[in-house]
Amino acid sequence: MGWIEFDLRLGDVHSLKEKRAIVRPIVNELRRRFSVSAAETDSLDLYRRAGIGGSLVSIDRSHVVDVLDSVERWMADRPEVEILQAHRHLASSADDEDDQGELPFG
């Protein structure tokens, strides 16, 4: 599993409506282009800032890293946003040593 979170500063934006007009297409394009789950995740009430996150699950760790690299490059090329911070996380079910048993179904 992998996910990436961006803290973004938006360009010439003066309202939440203008912010949505920038953020919504970015989130939709992340989903379409990279087949990741994506959403606005932070700074919902601030019109010049946005938090956007994307995640994916794969059996192949290198595939997750490649997709997150592509997402980060694509986001850096967006002229309407400036990346203030980007945080990446990788995990697997083997990372949680306390969860060794199976959960009952039903």
Please state, for a pLDDT cut of 70, what percent of the chain lies above it: 89
- Show the CA angle centred on residue 26, arms to residues 22 and 30, nearest 5°: 175
Please give the Cα distance from 66 to 73 (Å, whole number).
11
Model pTM greater than 0.85? no
Average pLDDT, integer, range 40-62 = 89
Q: Using an 8 Å Cβ cutoff, are 26 and 81 in contact?
A: yes
In DSSP terms, 82 is beta-bridged to 9
Average pLDDT, integer, range 80-88 = 94
Using 50, 70 and 90 to split pLDDT, how confident is the model at 68?
very high
